[in-house]
Chain A
Amino acid sequence: GAGVSQSPSNKVTEKGKDVELRCDPISGHTALYWYRQSLGQGLEFLIYFQGNSAPDKSGLPSDRFSAERTGGSVSTLTIQRTQQEDSAVYLCASSLGAVSNQPQHFGDGTRLSIL
C-alpha cells in the first residue's frame, strides 16, 4: 500500500520568502507528525496532530512556523519569512494513534534550502 507521501521532495527558495510543505499520511492513520532533520540539531520534533484534538505545537521553533491538517488527512507545514537556519530536511510521519503502541511511519522528506 501507499506510504507517507511528501511534496515537494526538494525546495530551493530565497531568504524572506514563505514556503509550504505538504504531507499525505497513510490512509486511516489518525496521528500525523512533523520533524526537522538538520546537521547541527539532529532530528527534532516540531508538531503533531491526533484526530480532532488540539495539536501539540511544543516543538515549533518560532512563530514563523505553523501547520494545519485539513479534514483529518493532508497536512501543510508553512514557514514564513524563511531564514538560512531553516535549511533542513522536513520529515512527516503518521501512525494509527499518537499515544498508542503503534509505530510512526515516515515519508522521504522535503529537503529545504534557503539561499
Chain B
Amino acid sequence: AQSVTQLDSQVPVFEEAPVELRCNYSSSVSVYLFWYVQYPNQGLQLLLKYLSGSTLVKGINGFEAEFNKSQTSFHLRKPSVHISDTAEYFCAVRGGNTGKLIFGQGTTLQVKP
C-alpha cells in the first residue's frame, strides 16, 4: 500500500519569493510520483511527474521537483512565484502495478502582493 503526506496545509509567500511545498511518501513497491495543481472550481492539472531516470524533474509554469529515494520525498519548488500561482497543490503516488493515484491532503499556496 502507498501513502502520501503533505507536510504543510497552507503556505503563504510573497510574490517573487521562492517556495517549496513538501511531500513525503510511503510505499513497499516502486512508485511513480506526480504533482497536480487545482485552481478554484476546476479539475486537477498535471504540473510534473517522476517516472524514472533523472531525479530532478521540470514541469510547467516554472515548477520543478526532486525525487529523493533515501528520504522518500518529492518536494515541489519554484524560484519565483506569481500571484497566478495561488492554488491548491496535490502530491500523488501510484504503485507500478496499479492505476489508482493516492493523493496527499493538499497544500494551499497563497501568494501575496
CA distance A104 to B51 in the complex (A): 13
Encoded as 1 (CB less than 8 Å from any A CB) or 0, chain B from 28 to 43 comes to 0000101010000111
* Selected interface stretch from B19-27, B61-69, B77-85, B90-98: B90-98
**Bound complex: CA A48 to CA B42 (Å):** 21
Is A91 positioned at the interface, with any CB of B under 8 Å from its CB?
Answer: yes
Interchain nearest-CB distance for A98 vs B (Å): 3
The 8 Å CB contact of B51, one of A4, A35, A101, is A101
- Describe B's contact surface by its main secondary structure: loop
Binds B, one of A11-19, A63-71, A72-80, A105-113: A105-113
Chain B residues near A95 (CB-CB < 8 A): 99
A103 CB–B CB distance under 8 Å: yes
Query: Given the complex, which residues of B lie within 8 Å of A58, measured CB to CB?
Result: 100
Across the interface, A48 reaches (CB within 8 A) one of B43, B51, B100, B105, namely B100
- The answer to whether A43 and B100 touch across the interface, beta carbons within 8 angstroms, is no
Bound: A33/B46 CA distance, A: 15
Q: How many residues on B have C-beta within 8 angstroms of the other chain's C-beta atoms?
A: 24
- Nearest B residue to A48 by beta-carbon distance? B99
Which 9 A-B residue pairings sit nearest by Cβ, starting from the closest? Answer: A98-B99, A106-B43, A43-B103, A106-B44, A45-B100, A101-B51, A108-B43, A42-B105, A48-B99
Residues of B participating in the A interface, judged by any CB pair closer than 8 Å = 32, 34, 36, 41-46, 49, 51, 90, 92, 96-106
Chain A interface residues (CB < 8 Å from chain B): 4, 31, 33, 35, 42-45, 48, 50, 56, 58-59, 91, 93, 95, 98-99, 101, 103-109
